Structure 1
């Protein structure tokens, strides 16, 4: 993993802007590094040592889980342990939060370049950092890194990074959506030596804890991080004593080399080309109604990837991340797609990825940009953006590589952070991470997974309702699946998300400190599928919930609950909720794949029968006509779909002089209706069913499509919004086969933005 910049004056130092390590690292001679590796390690010894290292790292994670006290770490697994080389390259990471992988690597490399001379690195030391300009995605994510020595040589590192419940700032939980810069954000500490030769420095520990509203929880979780590192150091030291440092180093090097070889082999099965995608965020801070763009482009040349964020808006408000977050999000999506079978041995794969970020942008912000809400907003946006771009790239690959596409992630971590005082008088911060229930997007080969979690945190779990009611003064009314509809529809539908409702319990009230209420969806479905869901947060004051309790019923329909519904912003201020208040928030239905009008009618009928899709949506969304018994009527469905396709083309702008590939020309499917065809010695993008030639592969396909554009809110009632909200003017553009009317691709556009040329291949 490298980063470059076309601007020579840019200094990626971790101070003025995000940190990019020097190559080679500028490590002073005062810290000698162990580099000797054995030339001959037999296969049995190699496997024993390799699995020992992997299991040491897994035990590291299990130790964190057992010792941490905060639900965000103990239950959600919002952490990551890693083993890294003496230079800070990742050898193994665990099945936890995947975008943390480069956080530890960057932090350790920064320590080697900036702390090795003074105050130095010695056996028994540990460094702590939560500085986003060094390596953390945002300030609640604190890295604790410990060196492992052999004699006087630094052999390797063990490290963990975990999310702390509160590390200060203007908002409870430290997601400071109202921040305008880092000075109104939580404090960011560059790496400092928290543990010196085995002894914790109480002055610096107290400095870190003093910032928190819940210092006891943070103290326990910080001690858990230190203890888990000690366990890993002890295990690795024992492994070195048994097999020898040179043997273990040889295994580490070969693991890295094998990962690089695997990545190179898979990249070789993807044609050279460029793939790009754009996503939007709404509201840069509390009170803002603006819309902002993030863009990621991947260029593949030979067996290497070159990644940039050109086209992203300038940094503003609190929706920024630094270079560490941008790179971590992309690497999380890439390894989940291409190298998930390497079981966390991803460091070698990173060698084939090179970043060329634009500084001063939303996804590569310079100091002093505010970044603390990134863990709920921008990091998920960038993971979703990266997985969309990677999915486009893999669609062009050989079939066994194309099948690895996983579809876009949720564009935000839906939920809320509440706070207040318990009946016993203790301050609490409730980080509701129930959206770990999640949902997975559809793929080229099938539907997404209902309530399937998130690919970027495989071990993440949601809490049981009863656990949360014990922890916080909250009572849950319901938690259930989110019905399907236009959101998430496709030839293969996206996995279903969920919604839940709650009230304050045994307290006069509490505050909703952080929440998400979107006015338009951010993720488009793959190759003609519909967008995913709009995440909502709804609040009613003066509700009649307790009267319903007295009558012996628990409300199950938010719309039917009495009370005055509050106006809610996308990223609004803290909302005070009295004991008669009630709130509901939704997760998201993930995106589908392919045109919904191509979905198997029997699958639509099955979704209706199983309660996953309202009966009225069968015709409205999928063009499927159901019989009296709920079965799909094949004849009437075919007629209805033909009518809908004709209406699409009638409303679309169809290009002049549509050409089609002759029957003798072979077509190779890419994704959905998009295909490749060779005609008169030229490779073209074409449509699979209508065989329309859309344009040479070197120029893209969109100019040859029929184009249907409308307000996004007109796509279905699931996307309706108020005229005062940002989503009211957002456009939805459908690229259609000019022969059949079937969708080739779709695009969400901010008013005034030009379309993205998203797929261009080498001739």
Structure 2
């Protein structure tokens, strides 16, 4: 075995990252659904053969999947060992979307594939793609009033979708018999599998060049260094307990807020996260499974310390007490469709609100914190086929110690982007009447929050059903250190010329629409950072000149006459 020198270690680190990046690119380029092909709602990674722990993940993959996929991979490994899952062979690919087996919500479908070297499993490759529909009571799977997971769609334990490289027609038939627009799923399935096969080929090329033993040594060293770097970053934080709260609008069934209580204890070079006192498990779909809760903490710390290389080692100094008895540790059959895209962001917001007290120069005020989940399902009479459209949208980021927040940025949990309106109009019978920054939505502060997005979409043909699972409709994103909250989410549906606002503000399902009806959405602005009265009046005047705020808002929010 060649000695593992610094240069070889660096090359292997970049090579493993490149494998994941190419898997991400392959998945997006080959997928049929706009939510994957255009919005990049997917992620790919390399995981340990022993325990499924994270080795590397694509730089363009969703951060929320950083922790989640290692838990689902670990579950597959454990179920194989226990005899609850068929043993793997070369060419096998398992499919799983069960939220309670290391997952998120049902629409996030994971593929897991072993990579063999010398007749033994060297590692696992895994990816996740957001399928536009997985069955359930409403198109798109976002059932805002679900009270059991079965109402949200088809739940799959780990089963072999591909056996020795061949798609299993029986498993495929079961899936297609339980989802909408099933004829369109084969493209996404083939793309998801192709990404793993590309990863296997590229990984084998690296291992053939450098040797398996050298790669194993490098993986262990990279994990050790990531842990060391995270510990060094934490050590610079003053010891103490930092407390915060964040709130979910409602669970979609009971119209009352859910509370996240968080205490972060910094001691030496570790952080302990305690969610004791948070709300109990809820009736509606805003429960979070444990894997998502853990991953939400990890991604928040990833935002704070982006310089720490991503691997399981980066998580070692982060200790999360299991939030038993709360809605952050959901058990079957609690519904969970809102956990990955919404509750995860409230958890991250709580982490930011606590850590900004400890690291005011490094942590921002709260970002928009909603993926803006809007699902529309119907029939297009001009094309003679059914469709399911899934719209995600960005919002404002929070201000920070040195800058205003980013406007219309992607959600906290992801690097996914809103599909181009031209693609959506081409694929579905809709017309976007308006698509622009949401003026006035950024929270006031010495450094204001970024602005959200305002859009309006009209149904052109046929009939459809709309569902929303969003958040921050009751409470805007939190300001920090004297900054004001960003504007809350806004949803209005126009049917027959009459305006309808969902009773839960950001959540409702199965709204019947027909041609000419419209949906108007305003996404949240980011929280402001610091006292608004300390903002440079010239910056306020420039914001007014650009139309971001009115003169009246400048006077009321910043105390500046323009």
Q: TM-score range by the shorter chain?
A: over 0.9
- 1:335–1:346 contact (8 Å) kept in structure 2: no
| Other structure's SS at 2:307 match | helix
Residue 358 of structure 1 deviates from its aligned partner by: 2.2
Residue 415 of structure 1 deviates from its aligned partner by: 4.8
Q: Number of residues paired by the alignment?
A: 554
Structure 2 residue 522 is matched with structure 1 residue 586: yes
Residue 71 of structure 1 deviates from its aligned partner by: 1.0
In structure 2, the partner of 1:701 is: none
- 2:144–2:467 contact (8 Å) kept in structure 1: no
Radius of gyration: which is bigger? 1
Residue 254 of structure 1 deviates from its aligned partner by: 1.3
- 2:55–2:311 contact (8 Å) kept in structure 1: yes
Q: Deviations over 1:629-680 (max 9, x none)?
A: xxxxxxxxxxxxxxxxxxxxxxxxxxxxxxxxxxxxxxxxxxxxxxxxxxxx
Residue 443 of structure 1 deviates from its aligned partner by: 0.7
Of 366, 371, 382, the match for 2:336: 371
In structure 1, the partner of 2:11 is: 48
In structure 1, the partner of 2:62 is: 97
Structure 2 residue 540 is matched with structure 1 residue 540: no
Of 409, 413, 418, the match for 2:367: 409
| Other structure's SS at 2:25 match | helix
Distance 1:53 1:102 in 2: 18
| Other structure's SS at 1:377 match | helix
Distance 2:188 2:325 in 1: 33
Q: Deviations over 1:284-329 (max 9, x none)?
A: 234x322221223221111111112211111112110110110111
In structure 2, the partner of 1:473 is: 429
Structure 2 length-normalised TM: 0.94
Residue 464 of structure 1 deviates from its aligned partner by: 2.2
- 2:338–2:469 contact (8 Å) kept in structure 1: no
Residue 77 of structure 1 deviates from its aligned partner by: 0.9
Of 221, 230, 234, the match for 1:267: 234
In structure 1, the partner of 2:311 is: 346
Distance 1:117 1:199 in 2: 25
| Other structure's SS at 1:594 match | coil
Query: 5+ residue gaps in structure 2?
Result: none
In structure 2, the partner of 1:649 is: none
Structure 1: 4+ residue segments shifted above 3 A: 515-519
- 1:294–1:362 contact (8 Å) kept in structure 2: no
Q: Deviations over 1:266-298 (max 9, x none)?
A: 111011111222122233234x32222122322
- 1:516–1:537 contact (8 Å) kept in structure 2: no
Residue 374 of structure 1 deviates from its aligned partner by: 2.4
In structure 1, the partner of 2:465 is: 511
Q: Deviations over 1:131-156 (max 9, x none)?
A: 11111111111111111122132211
Residue 519 of structure 1 deviates from its aligned partner by: 5.0
Distance 1:517 1:163 in 2: 19
In structure 2, the partner of 1:58 is: 21
Residue 406 of structure 1 deviates from its aligned partner by: 3.4
Query: 5+ residue gaps in structure 1?
Result: 1-37, 396-402, 543-562, 627-763
Q: Deviations over 1:339-365 (max 9, x none)?
A: x2345x232111111121222321111
- 2:94–2:159 contact (8 Å) kept in structure 1: yes
Distance 2:4 2:170 in 1: 46
In structure 1, the partner of 2:443 is: 488
- 1:488–1:589 contact (8 Å) kept in structure 2: yes
| Other structure's SS at 2:271 match | strand
Task: Give runs of aligned pairs for residues 276-315 of structure 1, distance below 5 A.
Answer: 276-286=243-253, 288-315=254-281
Distance 1:359 1:209 in 2: 36
- 1:166–1:212 contact (8 Å) kept in structure 2: yes
Question: Which deviates more, 229-238 or 205-214?
Answer: 205-214
Residue 617 of structure 1 deviates from its aligned partner by: 0.9
Distance 1:49 1:380 in 2: 33
Distance 1:168 1:521 in 2: 31
Distance 1:117 1:311 in 2: 35
- 1:532–1:589 contact (8 Å) kept in structure 2: yes
Residue 231 of structure 1 deviates from its aligned partner by: 0.9
Of 158, 175, 200, the match for 1:233: 200
Q: Deviations over 1:373-426 (max 9, x none)?
A: 32443222223223322333323xxxxxxx332332323222521111012221
Where relative contact order (Cα < 8 A, 6+ residues apart) is larger, the structure is: 2
- 2:477–2:525 contact (8 Å) kept in structure 1: no
Structure 2 residue 411 is matched with structure 1 residue 449: no
Of 555, 559, 562, the match for 1:623: 559
RMSD between aligned alpha carbons? 1.9
Distance 1:69 1:294 in 2: 37
- 1:414–1:586 contact (8 Å) kept in structure 2: no
- 2:443–2:526 contact (8 Å) kept in structure 1: yes
Question: Which deviates more, 424-433 or 444-453?
Answer: 444-453
Structure 2 residue 32 is matched with structure 1 residue 69: yes
- 1:360–1:366 contact (8 Å) kept in structure 2: no
